[in-house]
């Protein structure tokens, strides 16, 4: 599990019920940014390890994927 997800959920619940302090709002934003960075890294890692094969068994992986999807993150 991604670290910080439980705290993100706690803050979201508190935001709905009683509201957040300014410090908690800042913490929530930082945690969300860290979460998104982690997810993007996982997706990028998965995609860069994908191989596309045609019916004859030839590697036809697009060059953009082979080169690491520059500009993705």
DSSP 57: S
Whole-model pTM?
A: 0.70
What domains lie within the chain, and their CATH numbers? 5-66 (1.10.287)
pLDDT at 13 over 60: yes
- Using one digit for the tens of pLDDT, what is the confidence trace for 27-68? 999 999 999 999 999 998 888 888 899 999 999 988 877 776
Taking Cα atoms as reference points, which of 63, 73, 35, 66 lies closest to residue 50?
66
pLDDT at 73 over 60: no
Q: Which residues contact 45 (CB under 8 A, 6 or more apart)?
A: none
């Amino acid at each position: 599990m991604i670290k910080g997800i439980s705290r993100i959920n706690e803050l979201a619940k508190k935001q709905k019920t009683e509201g957040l302090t300014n410090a908690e709002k800042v913490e929530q934003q930082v945690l969300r940014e860290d979460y998104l960075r982690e997810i993007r890294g996982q997706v990028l890692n998965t995609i860069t390890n994908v191989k596309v094969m045609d019916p004859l068994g030839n590697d036809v992986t697009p060059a953009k994927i082979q080169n690491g999807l520059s500009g993705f993150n």
